Structure 1
Amino acid sequence: MSSLAVYHVNDPVQPQRLLNHADDIIRELSEIGVDFAQWQASAVLQPGASSEDIIAAYRTDIDKLIAAQGYQSFDVVSIKEDHPDREELRAKFLDEHTHSEDEVRFFVAGSGLFNLHVEDHVYAVFCEKGDLISVPAGSKHWFDMGEHPYFIAIRLFNNPQGWIAQYTGDSIAKDFPNMDDWK
């Protein structure tokens, strides 16, 4: 189940709010400029589906986002426990950073934890299959896929070069619950 926990930066243990209903999550995140939605595939995906099959299943939704937001490229990323670079990728995503473009992810399978640092709050968004999140350009955030990752996501980019991070140097991410704490 998708969830949103809102913490004050001075209390990374006890959330001020915990939301589990999509409408509540959408409303809360929209107040900080983050888009959140839930999609359904137009085709049934089989285990081990190729990137092409995944894109075909969600092509109508992808095309709507491209038309509305002007995204230049998209791809499919798939990371599971046996991925040879999982530890390096997790470390790279776990440090607080920003992007010069929106970070748009649609979870086709599995789950991940986006943390958004907005003023004196951290919004921890547990995303799973069917969730679309769009983190606005310039937003401080980090992402955790856990020690035993499993997710497949469609990523959309304004920049054809793809994922480029500017790290803040803030160690705040180390203070807050990680993906494994949510399971």
Structure 2
Amino acid sequence: MSLLHVFDESGTRTLLRTTDVDVMARQLAERGITLHRRPVRPLPAGADAQTVLDVYREDVGEICAAGGYRLVDVAALRPEPDNAEWERTARAAREKFLYEHTHAEDEVRFFVGGRGCFYLHLGDRVYATVCEAGDLLSVPAGTTHWFDMGAVPDFCVIRFFEEEDGWIGSFTDSGASAPIPQLDDLLTMA
């Protein structure tokens, strides 16, 4: 379920909560963020990065042409029950991106499996944007945000870049993410 939950900066007051993708797209567009839905294509179980790119070749070509992206890759974490090493790796990956940061270029993510939440800190509001398979999100360069993949990460995204180091985050050390509910809590809120 795609979801937009808008909080005040303190995380104590809900200003908007919607699962209507059209409302989500309009709300985000007013703030320079692009959200589109694209068709979801079936992926074989355990699909590797090349398989994902092959299945989504046409979509990748269209997105690259429209945005001028030169590089793409696939980032994915799928649950591996009873695998302590996977749990350590997933926990470390999650922790890294739970802190507010920016990027030198647009952050463009096409979710092709699972879900994750981009928290966009825009002025005195936080736009918690839960993306799922089919959601294409484009966050302009310099936008303060953080990402939560949940306690048990399960997502697969195609990432688009202009430069090889376009994904590198510049962390703000603001502490802005601390009072805002994380993805798992966000999904259970009414």
Q: CA deviation at 1:180?
A: 1.2
Contact 1:99 1:166 in 2 (8 A): yes
The gaps in structure 1 that reach 5 residues or longer are none
TM-score normalised by the chain length of structure 2: 0.90
Paired residues, number: 181
Question: Amino acid of the residue matched to residue 13 of structure 1?
Answer: T
Partner of residue 110, structure 2: 106
For residues 32-47 of structure 1, what are the structure 2 equivalents within 5 Å? 32-41=31-40, 43-47=41-45
The gaps in structure 2 that reach 5 residues or longer are 81-85
Tell me the percent identity: 41
Query: Deviating runs (4+, > 4 A) in structure 1?
Result: none
Partner of residue 63, structure 1: 61
TM-score normalised by the chain length of structure 1: 0.93
Per-residue CA deviations over 1:101-140 (Å, capped at 9, x if unaligned) read 0111111111111100001110000111111111110000
1:145 aligns with 2:143: no
2:106, 2:138 → 1: CA distance?
Answer: 6
2:119, 2:59 → 1: CA distance?
Answer: 25
Q: CA deviation at 1:90?
A: 0.9
1:131, 1:90 → 2: CA distance?
Answer: 20
Contact 1:13 1:177 in 2 (8 A): no
1:16, 1:77 → 2: CA distance?
Answer: 32
Partner of residue 184, structure 2: 180
Q: Give the secondary structure class of the aligned counterpart of 1:169.
A: coil
Q: CA deviation at 1:81?
A: 3.5
